Amino acid sequence: MKEEIVKVDCLKHVYPDKTEVSVCGLSFVVHRGEKVVLIGPNGSGKTTLLHHIIGLLKATEGEIKVFGLNPCKNFKKVVRRIGVVFQNVDEQLIGPTVWDDIAFSPMNYGLSKKEVKKRVEKIIKELKIEYLKNKIPRYLSGGEKKKVAIAGALVIEPELLVLDEALSELDPESKRIMIRKFNELNKKNKITIVLATNEIDMVKKFADTVYVLEAGEIKYRGSPKEFFKKKIKYEICRH
């Protein structure tokens, strides 16, 4: 039986403004090497779920395990094994230049300068963003910022990649490059990937398993083939 990398059972979170968000229904389970697409409209709870998985939020109720640990209580142990791209990438682009930004995490994780340089140069070449490396992140376009954030997530060579609308704002060719890279890493390194999106096309192009989340309830879990065969009502994902 495959190792469970992520398992979430009926979480509830209360934000400081007293807004309550629940993600219940079916359990959310991700196995090692699996590519999972989580679809649902804005406000369905996708970002809240992902923020709990990466340990940024503490659940009021429910159980969350990542690599067998509670990610909030064991944040330092868990975070080093996860590459993340936030929906709003401005929250994570902090370097004075693109090169510095991509190099930030591996430098802080104690890798040698030689290894950091090797990894950064490799990933910017593979993602075809060499032309951006000396630019200032805050002046980039939305699509360019997404590319830099993806490079920063991949450069640490994570075991788990968590992507929140990571491919939005990218042109079709850039999307193809990124999807090809994700698939390559999944096949070669058995990297586990969770992609939250409201683009139904990503189910067919990418997923091993698809979850449908609507108004805080996981309403469907299955293969893309079953998803389309059963004609699951996914119009909600076109909002």
What is the residue-averaged pLDDT of the chain? Answer: 92
∠ at Cα 166 (136, 217), nearest 5°?
A: 145
- The pLDDT value given to residue 195: 97
- The pLDDT value given to residue 134: 97
Question: What pLDDT, in 10s, does the model give residues 202-235?
Answer: 888 899 999 999 988 999 999 999 888 876 654 4
Q: Tell me the three state secondary structure of residue 94.
A: coil
- The pLDDT value given to residue 239: 31
- The pLDDT value given to residue 236: 41
If we measure between CA atoms, which residue out of 78, 94, 74, 76 comes closest to residue 86? Answer: 94
- Give the integer Cα–Cα distance in Å for 110 and 108: 5
Question: What pLDDT, in 10s, does the model give residues 132-179?
Answer: 999 999 999 999 999 999 999 999 999 999 999 999 889 999 999 999
Per the DSSP assignment, residues forming a β-bridge with 211 are 38, 221
Instruction: Tell me how far apart the terminal alpha carbons of the chain are, to the nearest angstrom.
Output: 37
- The pLDDT value given to residue 232: 60
4-81+158-238 fold: Rossmann fold (3.40.50)
DSSP state of 165: S
Phi, psi of 13 (to 5 degrees): -130, 140
| Domain chopping of the chain, boundaries | 4-81+158-238, 95-157
If we measure between CA atoms, which residue out of 202, 113, 110 comes closest to residue 165? Answer: 202
AA letter at 81: R
- The pLDDT value given to residue 220: 92
Question: In this structure, is the dihedral angle defined by the CA atoms of residues 85, 86, 92 and 97, taken in order, positive or negative?
Answer: positive
Q: Is the pLDDT of residue 183 over 50?
A: yes
- Give the integer Cα–Cα distance in Å for 148 and 156: 13
